[in-house]
Structure 1
Amino acid sequence: MNKRKKTRWPVWLVGFIVLAGGILGINLMVQNVLAGNHSVTENVEVSPSAYPGLNIETRTKKTKHYILSISNVLTNNKEINTPIQTWVNDQEKKFLTQVKTGTKTLQGDHRAELNITVDTNKINDHLYSLVFTSYQITTGGANGQSIIKSFNIDTAENKILNLSDIMTYDKATVNHIMSIVKEELKKQKNVHSYVFEAELQKSIKNPSGWKWSIGNGVFTLYFNKYEIAAGAAGTVQVNIPLKSLHSYLKKDLTKKWNITYENNDEPKGKRPTQPPLDPKGKYVALTFDDGPHPKVTPRVLKTLKEYNTKATFFMLGVQVEYYPDMAKKVAKAGHEIGNHSKSHPNLANMSLSEVRKQIIESSHRIKDATGEKPTLFRPPYGAMNESVKKVTKEQKTPIILWSVDSLDWKSRNAQAVNKEVAKNIRSGSIVLMHDIHASTADALPHMLKSLKKQGYQFVTVSQLLSLNKSTGNGPYYNQ
């Protein structure tokens, strides 16, 4: 029988390996602690969108020191996915580096935040303009920083398009576009006074650096904060009617891509009036945030229908954009729809112009999908500043908070959700839930059955406010 020969390692080598492993382990542990990874809540989900060939990946992460929320678009092609993923990864890497550097200043509720969202402009079933916004709050002051990056993709030819693929341009073309941009900026009264002429000239004269998209009859240019204007202007967007650029577009473009030159009309719709409530009744308003979701929202709707219950859904503009049919189903079922911002940032750390964009753009998307403009607003995290109050007052959308937090976002457990609601519910309560967690859909049947047994009736937030004769902008927590 052959004896297996034992390998003898030199003592110095064994010691080195142990030491190196120890140092590596300590280094990783330190990095995890610095990033708050000893208390991490992370979720990754990939689901099909309303756009052919595109899937949406949503990744959320909460640690002691930061909150991360990233939306990304995935296609079936590596040549398209790789540069997009590289940019997203680069944004996350820079963010985490800054978090690590400033960890000592991130205590209590002062957590850093990275919020990456994507707007999708559909040209046809294989041509899309993807406009990413990376919004970061680290330790560099109260206001965050927004960075915009656009990717124009062709899923049929499996490539990312360059400006030269759609437009023939030379010095004369650039000068003409410069004049159009200036005229369009004059119409933006909240931006025009902050524009730096020299910086605008510098940016426009570099077409290879343009951040652009096409959709709904317009060619759009995007400028990062401080790129062409003072910080008070925030990020700047200029929409140029495609008909103004007709002579510069590639000749076969309109036929091949089926591009239209006029903006589409917005759908019109009107919600039926609700009957008045009995002042002696026992009412609660159930609310659902962060949707619509392609898997969870249908389950929530089914349960609400079974119990003949109406609720209020505070929707995100980016979610409505990707799942417009689901938003439409919520409205068609007779539920109330509120605005929850475009991309769920902490509005309390944003400028007036940034807050206005978050609220108004989300409102437009909800109206496009459902046919009705939302009449209520709930700020993400319940965070607000004077800018939020100003814009919501302008839009006539009262600020709605909550009096019962189900903590479904934290527990992700149906029994825990029901226990939390049962413990804190009372007549007049506004209950906070999220129609993006499967556990919330799991909890709902027992919750409705139990509350109905106790004599509660379920109403929308607007009905609850009318019962209390509430007027003004709020914020409203109710009982």
Structure 2
Amino acid sequence: MRQPIMYISIISLVLLAACSFLASANGTTVSQEVKEYSEYDLDMKSEILEFEEYHITIHYPETPNTQINQTIIDYVNQIKSKFKQESYQAMQVMKSHSSHELHVDFEVLHESEQYFVIHFDETMDVGYPDISKSRTIMNFKKENGQRLETEDLFNQEVDYLQALADLTNEKLEEEFGKEINQNSFLEKATAPLPSNYQNVAINSGGVTIFFRDGVQPEEISLKMDNINEFLHPEITVVENEALHEATPSIEGLKSININGEDVKRPHGENKKIALTFDDGPHPQKTLDILEVLERYDAKGTFFMLGKRVSYYPETAQEVVTEGHEIGNHTWNHPCLTRLSKDEVVRQIQATKEIIQHVTGEETTRVRLPFGENLSAPYYGTMEIVPWDVSVETWRKENPRQIADTFISEINDGDIVLLHDLEGSTPEVLDMILASLSYEGYEFVTLSQLEEK
């Protein structure tokens, strides 16, 4: 698997042996050969859409397994459809017209020779006081790409729900004391109901049960020794066999302060514009942009997502090697106005740290997702960078129309916004630079624009 950069700790990996022993349905122990599957080389896909009515940010993995990919794409399409429907319905009954948001991020919880496990975090804000937060766990068999639901993991001939409830309560009592089971809210969340055990994830030592949103603790792990007799005969979890456990998160990072001052915007005799690119890096599209910039001896500033930097560190490094600047665009592109101050800090600090770790460059500028303003004052050294010229109808116009719109609106000293993940960006950029070069423009980084 393409490993996201993990710079806090190193995980020891032990590979699965060529054979394992499975218990057959009638209880007979048989030897079954297990095919070897290498660790997945993952790509990280990001869909970022901004409309007046709503914002959508969805990150998901793409694997070498087409069946797994199709299941994930179906899930993405379903959650987008659900959000759009609920957003439309909310707009019909509510007076507020603030933009709604769907934000979905993922974490690879576990990968072994046999299984691939993903955790999706979902946030849906359609204007109601309570923001909807949920999660979806997907366990896959790598051999055939089959998604394993909870009922597929456990033996249907036993009351596995009652067994899970009993083991969960025992584990909670062991870790938190007897008082924990007197919590009526938690008692309901651990009752032997299918809805309480929808999100069960295979791990290297057994399974992890994730409770519904609002329940504390959020999860509990059960060891293989405790659940083995309740597992489906075809499910085998070999302890410590993980090829990969958990991608990096933004938790536990030290604080950083930022302010609300805009970047300086001087104007002078020599015509200059600052080219900026959001939402990358992308392993191919960002490189295509770099090729266009090189042809025109142009420089730019790339506002990168920390999570994408962790997946594509070589691309981030190439941007710096080519003489361009890197800015901070948060870790995973949420609407910051719905986050607490500490959550905003973590979004920016995690990105600052991964960029410095990968490139050696310390970022001093941040561009907020969707061009938002922060809901509370922040003070410090990070400049918040807006833009002057952008095109909001990328998907409705052809590259020539998009380029003409940019060219007609750009003036000396402007900050121009383009996006790494848009497939037409290299072509549009080529047209813009060809036209404005003829008019005598120079294409610079934000730092160079400030020097003007």
What TM-score, normalized to structure 1? 0.59
Identical amino acids, percent of aligned pairs:
27
Q: How does 1:52-71 map to 2 (within 5 A)?
A: 52=40, 54=42, 65-71=53-59
**Deviation digits for residues 192-215 of structure 1 (CA, Å, limit 9, x no counterpart):** xxxx97756876899956666879
Corresponding residue for residue 303 of structure 1? 292
Residue 438 of structure 1 aligns with which residue? Answer: 423
**Alpha carbons of structure 1 residues 372 and 404: separation in structure 2 relative to 1, 3 Å:** same
Contact 2:105/2:122, CA 8 A, preserved across alignment: yes
Partner of 1:447 in structure 2? 432
Distance 1:106 1:177, change over 3 A: closer
Distance in 1, Cα, partners of 2:88 & 2:215: 27
SS of 1:381's equivalent in the other structure is helix
Mark the CA change 1:257 to 1:463 in structure 2 (over 3 Å): closer, same or farther: same
Match of 2:274 in 1: 285
- Corresponding residue for residue 131 of structure 1: 119
Call closer, same or farther: CA 1:456–1:248 in 2, change over 3 Å. farther
Aligned to 2:341: 352
Q: Distance in 1 between matches of 2:96 and 2:137?
A: 35
Q: 1:226 — aligned with what?
A: 214
Work out the CA distance in 1 between the residues paired with 2:60 and 2:106: 7
In structure 1, what residue type is equivalent to 2:282? H
Q: Which residue of 1 aligns with 2:365?
A: 376
Quick one: which of 89, 100, 104 aligns to 1:101? 89
Deviation at 1:380, TM superposition (A): 1.5
Instruction: List gaps (5 residues or longer) in structure 2.
Output: 1-38, 155-163, 229-235, 249-265
User: What amino acid is the match of 2:335?
Assistant: N
The answer on whether the counterparts of 2:189 and 2:212 sit within 8 Å (CA) in structure 1 is no
When residues 246 and 400 of structure 1 are mapped into structure 2, their CA distance, relative to the original with a 3 A threshold, is: farther
Shift of 1:436: 2.0
The alpha-carbon distance between structure 1 residues 348 and 305, as it changes in their structure 2 partners (threshold 3 A), is same
TM-score of the aligned structures, taking structure 2 as reference length: 0.62
Q: What does the per-residue CA deviation read over 1:352-382, in whole Å, with 9 as the maximum and x for residues that have no partner?
A: 3543444344445545554545332111110
* Aligned residue in 1 for 2:107: 119
Q: CA deviation at 1:404?
A: 2.2
Higher RCO, 1 or 2 (CA under 8 Å, sep at least 6)? 2
Q: Shift in Å at residue 106 of structure 1?
A: 7.0
Determine the C-alpha separation between the residues in 2 that align with 1:463 and 1:56: 32
Distance 1:172-1:144 versus aligned 2 partners, 3 A rule: closer
Question: Offset of 1:432 from its aligned partner?
Answer: 1.0
Paired with 1:108 and 1:423, the residues of 2 have a C-alpha distance of 34
Given that 2:149 and 2:198 are in contact with CA atoms closer than 8 Å, whether structure 1 keeps it comes out as no
Tell me the SS of whatever aligns to 1:428: coil
What is the CA–CA distance in structure 2 between the aligned matches of 1:364 and 1:204, rounded to whole Å?
A: 38
Q: 1:102 to 1:453 in 2, by over 3 A?
A: same
C-alpha separation in 2, matches of 1:253 and 1:96: 42
Change (3 A) 1:439 1:283: same
Matches for 1:273-422 after TM superposition, within 5 Å: 282-367=271-356, 369-387=358-376, 389-390=377-378, 393=379, 396-407=381-392, 409=394, 412-422=397-407
Q: Hey, what does 1:155 align to over in structure 2?
A: 142
Q: 1:140 aligned to 2:125?
A: no
Quickly say closer, same or farther: Cα 1:106–1:429, change in 2 above 3 A.
Answer: farther
In structure 2, relative to structure 1, the CA distance for the partners of 1:152 and 1:407 (3 Å cut) is same
Contact 1:52 1:125 (8 Å CA) reproduced:
no
425, 447, 451: which one aligns with 1:462: 447
Aligned 8 A contact 2:117 2:139 in 1: yes
Amino acid at match of 2:132: Q
Letter in 2 for 1:447: I
Pairing of 1:20-31 with structure 2 (within 5 A): none
Q: Secondary structure at the match of 1:405?
A: coil
Contact 2:197 2:211 in 1 (8 A): no
For the residue of structure 2 that corresponds to 1:451, the secondary structure is helix
Give the 3 Å change call, closer, same or farther, for CA 204–108 of structure 1 in structure 2.
Answer: closer
Cα distance in structure 1, aligned partners of 2:92 and 2:237: 57
2:413 aligned residue: 428
Deviation at 1:448, TM superposition (A): 2.4
Return the alpha-carbon distance in structure 2 between the equivalents of residues 197 and 397 of structure 1: 44
Distance in 2 between residues matched to 1:57 and 1:117, nearest whole Å: 10
1:191-239 CA-partner distances (Å, limit 9, x unpaired): xxxxx97756876899956666879xxx99876652238xxxxxx7x99
Q: 1:249 to 1:330 in 2, by over 3 A?
A: farther
Structure 1, 314-323 or 219-228: larger mean CA deviation: 219-228
Matches within 5 A, 1:158-237: 158=145, 208=197, 225-228=213-216
Check conservation: 2:98, 2:127, Cα contact below 8 A. Answer: no
Q: Deviations over 1:394-421 (max 9, x none)?
A: 6x43211112224463654333333333
* Paired residue type of 1:382: G
Q: Which has the higher helix share?
A: 1
Equivalent pairs, count: 373
1:132/1:149 contact within 8 Å kept: yes
